[in-house]
Amino acid sequence: MEFSIKSGNPEKLRKDCIVLGVFESRKLSAAAALVDQAANGHISTVLRTGDIDGKPGSSLLLHHVPGIAATRVLLVGLGKERDLNERAYRQAARASIRALAGLNAAEVVTYLAEVAVQQHDLAWRVAQLVEVAQDSTYRFDKFKTKAGDSKKGIAKLQVQVTERADVAAAEAGLKQGLALASGVSFAKDLGNLAPNYCTPTYLAEQALALVKSHGLTVEVLEQAELEKLGMGSFLAVSKGSVQPPKLIVLQHKKGKKSQKPVVLVGKGITFDTGGISLKPGADMDEMKYDMCGAASVLGTFKTIAELGLPLNVVGIIPTCENMPDGNATRPGDVLTSMSGQTIEVLNTDAEGRLILCDALTYAERFEPQAVVDIATLTGACVIALGHHASGLFSNQDNLAQELLQAGNASQDRAWHMPLWDDYQSQLDSNFADMGNIGGRAGGSITAACFLSRFTKKYDWAHLDVAGTAWKSGKDKGATGRPVPLLTEFLKQRAAKSGK
């Protein structure tokens, strides 16, 4: 989809469709009022029939509105004008794109960016509109021999603003929205790839490709280097697979040389059978999504590179497969992590924390201002929070608040979970410093407690995205979360560092 920004009157636009907002109680937005005036009250007449009530997400398509140059007019509900917030605005934007998806409306003009949203400016409204449009039209058909009907749907979306003076702000929003959409789509593509394509080597190749296209610095550590570093926990997970493990280290160096970096650590299990503690066969295909933490780091780096974000950021991705064979790690094995702490493996399906703990120890060398790890870590987090919010754990409340605020601002929300010492005893082991599981009770919390033992030297937060990184059922597919949250968090950090 191509995007552009222009100003002008809606009634004179010769396009396939113009999109106008309608509030509850049949109140027209400013652009809709102009169209209604040019159409001699035709829009008001339609509203009186009750075919659209203005509720968020509702829509009504009109053809050949008198006095209007456009072939169609799409009315979209915005809800109550005083209560128009982020969620309602995004609902309206998504409804407008979906309503036109099956039509031959290639060139569309939208006036939704003109409406006021609580506590947000024009640039934010344009960015959200672009991001939602790209998300709504995303398709993954790499492996389909017959592509869908490419003639249907929107090819060009023109975002209209009221005044010429608003064009610059709208253009800034367009840049933000396109960069975020690019990163989210990249993360989705990686997550949706079949596991025989998206291997640890493939992820490393994708990271290396970002060097050429986006000017990042990337280093890929191979097995021999991981052995020298003493990453016994990480390497134990990869033992059952023929695919070699990789530790991918990305750097975005746009801040001052003296500025300590923010480090993002992404879990990259490209397929998780559970190892010797084999998972049930039902829905095991979805374990290709166990690398969505890694995908979100790569997607975020693509976004911040396109934005030229003035911040130093490091990405660390431990990636391997968790497979069962004669060499695979067994329940009862004792591992020595890079930190020197020993771990009794009680369940080989609790492998994400085993690769993350060594990556978190590796992060110390960057002397970070903060570290955030992202992982599809526990089914227990899905039970606790469902599929709406990611689980957030942290050893520093101010960092947790930053991430919560970033999630609210980006509509990619998280919920702050406890990380109390009370839970640590569940990890006690008779044969090592700790076990890798703490029982069924509080499973997402004890997983975070395990990771916390490797993060004593810096401010750290953990995002458990097991419930938010992908969807199941008829809408099965990666969501690209939490790229929006991470991007907003880094933008806030960059703004603070610039003051």
Active site residues: 279, 353
DSSP letter string, 55-81: -TT-EEEEES-TT-SSSEEEEEEEE-G
CA-wise closest residue to 2 among 159, 124, 127: 159
CB distance 285 to 215 below 8 Å:
no
Q: Do residues 403 and 372 lie in contact, with contact meaning Cβ atoms separated by under 8 Å? A: yes
Structure token pair of residue 182: 């690019």
Cα–Cα distance measured from residue 478 to residue 492, given in angstroms and rounded to the nearest whole number: 26
Angle at 152 between CA 150 and CA 157, to 5 degrees: 100
Asked whether the beta carbons of 45 and 39 are under 8 A apart, the reply is no
Rounded Cα distance, 361 and 45, in Å:
66
CB atoms within 10 A of CB 433: 17
Asked if 338 contacts 363 with a C-beta cutoff of 8 angstroms, the reply is no
- Cα atoms found within 13 Å of the Cα of residue 42, Cβ hemisphere only: 15
Question: For residue 57, which of 77, 75, 73 has the smallest C-alpha distance?
Answer: 77
Long-range Cβ contacts of 137-142 (<8 Å, 24+ apart): 137/1, 137/97, 137/101, 138/185, 138/188, 140/188, 140/189, 140/192, 140/477, 142/189, 142/192, 142/193
Count of other CB atoms within 10 angstroms of residue 24: 17
The C-alpha atoms of residue 217 and residue 219 are separated, in whole angstroms, by 7
CA 470, 473, 477 angle in degrees (round to 5)? 30
Q: What is the amino acid identity at position 360?
A: L
Return d(Cα 82, Cα 289) in angstroms, integer.
Answer: 40
